[in-house]
Amino acid sequence: MKKDFKKYAFSIVLLIGLTGFALWYVLKDDKDVVLAELSSISPLNFIGIMACSLFYFAFVALSLYVIAKEKYPHYKFLPSLSNAYVGGFFSGITPSASGGQVGQVYVFYKQGIDSSDAAGILWLDFVMYQVVLIFYTTVLVILRFPVFSSRVPALFVMIFIGYLMNGVVLAMLFSMAFFPVKFKRFCLKIVTLLHKLHLIRDSEKALKKCDDYLEAFTNNINKNRSNKNLIWKLVLVNIMRLTVYYSIPFIIGKLIHVDMNFLDSLALSSYISMANTFFPVPGASGGTEMMFLQLYSLILPLTQVSTILILWRVVTFHLALIIGCIMFIIEKIRRRRIII
C-alpha cells in the first residue's frame, strides 16, 4: 500500500511538473493575448465548455452501463458515471493509462459487482472501443491524412506509426478471440525471449499471468459473441463516444467564436490521440500539448490554438482528474452495496 502511494505520488508530481512546463510553453510568446481571450469568454459559454467533460464521460459510462446491465439488471447509470470518472482519474495519474482498469475493478466491487464480472465488463468495453477506434480513425485517415501529412511529414510519420500500433493491438485481440491456442504459443515465445534478455525475471509467473488474462478474455468474448444486440449497442455508443471526444476542440472553438472546418478538427483530434501512444508519461502530459499546438496551427492562428488548447486540456484531462479523485474518495469510504 505504501509502495502504491509512493508510485502515485511520484506520478502526480511528474504530472504537475509536465503540465506546468506545457502551460509555460503555450503562453511564453502570446501570454497577454491568450489570457485576454480566456477572460473574455462569457459565463454561459464557459459552462458549455466545461459541460463537454460530462457529455464525453456520459458516453464512457453508458458503455459500462450497457454491459453491466446484461448480468446486473438493477445496476444504475449514475454508478457507472462515477466509475467512468474514476477510470479517467487513474488513467491520468499512471504511465500509459495503466491504472485505469485497476481502479475501475475496485469501484465495481464497491458497487456490488464481483471482481471477475467487473474484469469481464472492462475487457468487453476495451475490445469494442478498440475495434470502433481503428475503423473510425481509418475513415479519418483516408479522408484527411493526405491533406495534412505533406505539411509536417515528421509528425505524421509518428502519427501513422501510432495508428499502426493501435492496429496491432486490435489484431492481437482478434487473435486472442479466434486463435487462443496459437496466441498462447506466441506468448510463450515472447516471454521466453524477454527472459533470455533478462527483461523478465520469473518467466513462469509471467506465463501464468498471460494464461489468466487469456482465459478471462476468451470466456468473456465467447459469452457475448452471440449477443448481437449488445454488440451493436456498444458499436453505436463508442461511435458517439469518439465523435464527442474528437469534437471538443471544435465545440470550444465555436463557443469562443473561432471558425474552423469540422472534419479537419475531427481528424486532427484523432491524430493527436494516435500520437499519444508515444508519450508513456501520466496523462501523456507535455507531448499532448506539443502535438496539439503543432497540428492545430495548420488550420488556425497560434494564439487561437493556444486558447483552445488550454480549455481542451482542462475539459478532457484536468477536470476529469478532479472529479475522478472526488468520486474515488466517495466510493472508497462508502460501504459495499449489494445489487439484487
Q: What is the pLDDT of residue 182?
A: 79
Q: What is the pLDDT of residue 142?
A: 87
Contacts of 268 (CB under 8 A, 6+ apart): 144, 148, 249, 295, 296, 298, 299
In a domain, 36, yes or no: yes
Give DSSP secondary structure letters for 251-265.
Answer: HHHHHTT----HHHH
In a domain, 340, yes or no: no
Q: Is the dihedral of CA 268, 269, 273, 279 positive or negative?
A: positive
> pLDDT digit string (tens) for 186-211?
877 887 877 777 777 777 777 777 77
Q: What is the pLDDT of residue 1?
A: 46
Range of the domain at 14: 2-333
Q: Please give the mean pLDDT across all residues of the chain.
A: 82
**Quick one: average pLDDT of 16-32?**
63
| Range with the poorest average pLDDT among 42-56, 216-230, 306-320 | 216-230
Residue 17 has pLDDT above 70, yes or no: no
Instruction: Specify the higher pLDDT residue, 234 or 144.
Output: 234
Instruction: Specify the higher pLDDT residue, 283 or 219.
Output: 219
Q: What is the pLDDT of residue 192?
A: 80
Domain total in the chain: 1
Q: Which of 53-62, 142-151, 276-285 has the highest mean pLDDT?
A: 53-62
In a domain, 152, yes or no: yes
> pLDDT digit string (tens) for 248-288?
999 999 999 898 999 999 999 998 888 776 666 665 666 78
Cell of 39: 477572460
**Is the pTM of the predicted complex or chain greater than 0.85?**
no
| Range with the poorest average pLDDT among 99-113, 175-189, 261-275 | 175-189
Angle at 102 between CA 96 and CA 103, to 5 degrees: 100
In a domain, 339, yes or no: no
Residue 6 has pLDDT above 60, yes or no: no
| Range with the poorest average pLDDT among 15-29, 142-156, 287-301 | 15-29
Query: Rounded to an integer, what distance in angstroms lies between the CA atom of residue 315 and that of residue 259?
Result: 20
**What percent of the chain is modeled with pLDDT above 70?**
83
In a domain, 338, yes or no: no
In which band, very low, low, confident or very high, does the pLDDT at 52 lie, cut at 50, 70 and 90?
very high
Residue 9 has pLDDT above 50, yes or no: yes
In which band, very low, low, confident or very high, does the pLDDT at 33 lie, cut at 50, 70 and 90?
low
Write b or e for each residue in 60-99: b if 16 or more Cβ atoms lie within 10 A of its Cβ, otherwise e: bbbbbbbbbbbebeebeeebbbbbbbbbbbbbbbbeebeb
**Quick one: average pLDDT of 112-133?**
86
Instruction: Specify the higher pLDDT residue, 283 or 171.
Output: 171
